């Protein structure tokens, strides 16, 4: 195992589940309202991850209502390998739980087999007799036929947890002569934690670990918070590892996390028959400081036959809304809705994965209204758009929508840039009455970051139109389960994008 930095999958990659087949690891995450759904990653060392596809990449696999609220969609997948096939079970909160299978985890994956089992966070496990069992939130267990989608027994309640709210995210493991039940509890916010119980019989009764929760960062000053929703995997050398979600809040209290819940890695050791996990650190001792994730190439010139798997769109991506062939070497977008403030718009984006980063896209707007948007949901986004000979910055924060700045631009392609940089953790110290008088009340570098919006034409250097406080594009303000996605959009007519460039800056992961 090489030294590594955490998170191993930065950005919006929550609820990780992992399995190993020989020397290869495969990991999946929740995708919520985004299409395609359930990103699938491959690794040989649990540190370097490369996205190899999306399990739900056909509209028929992912029925999400056109007007579904943000943070709906797909919750908490589990991936397992059994009898020569990959099995994935997850929840579509608009319809229920379902199973898809594949011979190759890169796809294609099957159409869904729906289960008549209420709940979320489903898990799959097979006993020694070959029976398939599904565990769900509330730590309930049912025997199922995953091929037919029928429930054969149960569900039975296994264990109510250690008394904290929301016992969920169950995973069952057969280790030696014990069945271990790993759960999350305490809620997915700052009180999140991981607990475990064990039994000689799959059906129970389950004995809780004497030191539950075995992992939680609640009420600490650690930079990684909300640690929970974990899965275990055993490496070929016999060592055990845990993947889990966490957040990296920044700024002044209550602190804000803007990238969503991310995937972290922690070693596990066994003491007296129980798993023990040390606090999750952002960086291993003597780590060289490189970014472990095998991220998509920093620049996409849209010269492939298909969009790379990292590109996502809210709810759906109708075939008529985009094209890579209509103007070769460009991504052409056609408007399907007239605003980003409601579902149904044309948007193609990538997860923001670094606290400090710079995203630039080259746009030929023609006569369209199009641009680059930093999106959390329909009510929380900042847009840098071009229309009618003007480049403007528009902020949508809750019920308020405002044009913050605008500048004329000539006809033809322009380069649009979003520059994200972290700000001071605490407000600036006021050392004199003069400083206090010069600073408006309540104004200071107290948010998690600052977003700068720049525009450049072929005739000059980039011009900064506006700089906005990033706290309003955080989960603490917007609520929900997702993180920022930075994407290209069009809300009127047809526009084309020559390239999109995403680069971390400032040496900050």
Q: What is the pLDDT of residues 481-501, one digit of tens each?
A: 999 999 999 999 999 999 999
Copy the structure tokens of residue 191. 């009180």
pLDDT digits (tens, 9 = 90+) for 406-425: 999 999 999 999 999 998 54
Query: How far, in Å, CA of 476 to CA of 279, rounded?
Result: 24
Euclidean distance between CA atoms 90 and 418, whole angstroms: 34
Task: Give SS3 for 321.
Answer: helix
Choose among 221, 162, 228: nearest CA to 189.
Answer: 228
Mean pLDDT throughout 268-297? 75
| C-alpha distances in Å from residue 210, one per residue of 154, 164, 196, 282, 472 | 28, 15, 9, 27, 41
pLDDT of residue 1: 54
CB count in 10 Å sphere of residue 312: 24
289 pLDDT more than 50: no
Confidence of residue 13 (pLDDT cuts 50, 70, 90): very high
Cα–Cα distance between 327 and 276 in angstroms, integer? 55
Q: How many CA atoms lie within 13 A of 317 on its CB side?
A: 23
- Other Cβ atoms less than 10 A from the Cβ of 161: the count is 24
Tokens linked to 485 = 């996605």
What tens digit of pLDDT does each residue of 204-239 get? 999 999 999 999 999 999 999 999 999 999 999 999
What pLDDT, on the 0 to 100 scale, is given for residue 287?
45
Write out pLDDT tens, residues 81-102.
999 999 999 999 999 999 999 9
pLDDT of residue 286: 37
Q: With the C-alpha atoms ordered 195, 200, 204, 208, is the resulting torsion angle positive or negative?
A: negative
pLDDT value, residue 2:
57
pLDDT tens digits for range 314-352: 999 999 999 999 999 999 999 999 999 999 999 999 999
Partners of 386 in the beta sheet? Answer: 370, 391
Higher-scoring residue by pLDDT: 507, 69? 69
Q: What is the pLDDT of residue 423?
A: 80
64 touches 94 (CB < 8 A): yes
Q: Which of 373, 200, 265 is nearest to 5 (CA)?
A: 265
> Do 17-277 and 299-504 have matching folds?
no
Task: Map residue 160 onto helix, strand or coil.
Answer: coil
Element (H, E) at 365: none
pLDDT surpassing 60 at residue 288 = no
Decide: 142 and 153 in contact? Cβ < 8 Å: yes
Residue 463 CA neighbour count, 13 Å, CB half? 15
Rg (CA), the chain: 23
Q: Provide the Cα torsion 243, 142, 55, 347; round to 10°.
A: -90
How far apart CA 394 and CA 434 sit, in angstroms, is: 33
| Per-residue pLDDT, 285 | 42
Per-residue confidence at 3, pLDDT binned at 50, 70, 90? confident
What's the confidence (pLDDT) of residue 457? 85
Contacts of 270 (CB under 8 A, 6+ apart): 240, 276
Say if residues 497 and 302 touch (Cβ distance below 8 Å).
yes
Band of pLDDT at residue 31, cut at 50, 70 and 90: very high
Name the band, by pLDDT with cuts 50, 70 and 90, for residue 426. very low
Dihedral of alpha carbons 128, 140, 218, 449, sign: positive
Catalytic residues: 15, 168
What's domain 17-277's superfamily in CATH?
A: Glycosyl hydrolase domain; family 43 (2.115.10.20)
CATH number, domain 299-504: 2.60.120.200
Between CA 484 and CA 262 the distance in angstroms is 12
As a whole number, the mean pLDDT across the chain is 92
Residue 327: predicted pLDDT: 97
The residue ranges of every structural domain in the chain are 17-277, 299-504
Residue 445 pLDDT level (bands cut at 50, 70, 90): low
Alpha-carbon gap, residue 396 to 445, rounded angstroms: 20
Contacting residues for 440 by C-beta, under 8 A, at least 6 apart? none
In the prediction, which pLDDT does 430 show? 43
pLDDT tens readout for residues 162-182: 889 999 999 999 999 999 999
């Amino acid at each position: 195992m090489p030294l590594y930095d955490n998170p191993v999958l930065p950005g919006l990659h929550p609820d990780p589940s992992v399995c190993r087949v020989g020397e290869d690891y495969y990991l999946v995450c929740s995708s919520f309202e985004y299409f395609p759904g359930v990103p699938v990653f491959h690794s040989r060392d649990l540190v370097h991850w490369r996205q190899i596809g999306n399990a739900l990449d056909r509209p028929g696999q992912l029925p999400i209502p056109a007007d579904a609220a943000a943070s709906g969609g797909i919750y908490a997948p589990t991936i397992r390998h059994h009898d020569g096939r990959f099995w994935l079970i997850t929840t579509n909160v608009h319809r229920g739980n379902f199973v898809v299978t594949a011979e190759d985890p890169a796809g294609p994956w099957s159409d869904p087999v729906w289960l008549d089992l209420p709940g979320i966070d489903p898990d799959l496990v097979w006993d020694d007799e070959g029976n398939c069992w599904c565990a769900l939130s509330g730590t309930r267990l049912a025997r199922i036929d995953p091929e037919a989608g029928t429930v054969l027994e149960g569900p039975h309640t296994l264990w109510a947890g250690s008394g904290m709210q929301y016992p969920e995210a169950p995973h069952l493991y057969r280790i030696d002569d014990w069945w271990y039940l790993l759960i999350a509890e305490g809620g997915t916010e700052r009180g999140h934690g991981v607990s475990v119980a064990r039994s000689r019989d799959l059906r129970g009764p389950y004995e809780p670990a004497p030191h539950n929760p075995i992992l939680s960062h609640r009420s600490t000053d650690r930079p990684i918070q909300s640690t929970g929703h974990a899965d275990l995997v055993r490496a070929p050398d016999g060592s055990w590892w845990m993947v889990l979600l966490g957040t990296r809040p920044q700024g002044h209290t209550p602190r804000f996390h803007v990238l969503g819940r991310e995937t972290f890695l922690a070693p596990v050791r066994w003491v007296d028959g129980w798993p023990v996990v040390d606090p999750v650190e952002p960086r291993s001792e003597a780590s060289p400081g490189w970014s472990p994730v095998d991220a998509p190439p920093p620049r996409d010139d849209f010269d492939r036959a298909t969009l790379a798997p990292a590109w996502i769109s809210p709810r759906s991506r109708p075939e008529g809304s985009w094209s890579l062939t209509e103007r070769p070497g460009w991504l052409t977008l056609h408007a399907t809705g007239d605003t980003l403030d409601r579902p149904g718009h044309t948007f193609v984006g990538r997860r923001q994965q670094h606290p400090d980063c710079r995203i630039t896209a080259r746009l030929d707007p023609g006569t369209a209204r199009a641009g680059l948007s930093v999106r959390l949901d329909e009510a929380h986004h900042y847009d840098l758009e071009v229309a009618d000979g003007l480049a403007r910055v528009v902020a949508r924060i809750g019920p308020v929508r405002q044009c913050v700045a605008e500048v004329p631009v000539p006809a033809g392609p322009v380069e649009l840039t979003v520059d994200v940089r972290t700000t001071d953790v605490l407000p600036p110290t006021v050392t004199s009455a003069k400083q206090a008088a010069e600073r408006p009340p309540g104004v200071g570098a107290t948010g998690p970051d600052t977003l700068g919006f720049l525009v450049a034409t072929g005739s000059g250097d980039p011009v900064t139109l506006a700089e906005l406080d990033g706290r309003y594009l955080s989960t603490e303000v917007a609520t929900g389960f997702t993180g920022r996605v930075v994407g290209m959009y069009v809300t009127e007519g047809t526009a084309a994008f020559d390239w999109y460039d995403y680069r971390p800056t400032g040496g900050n992961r």
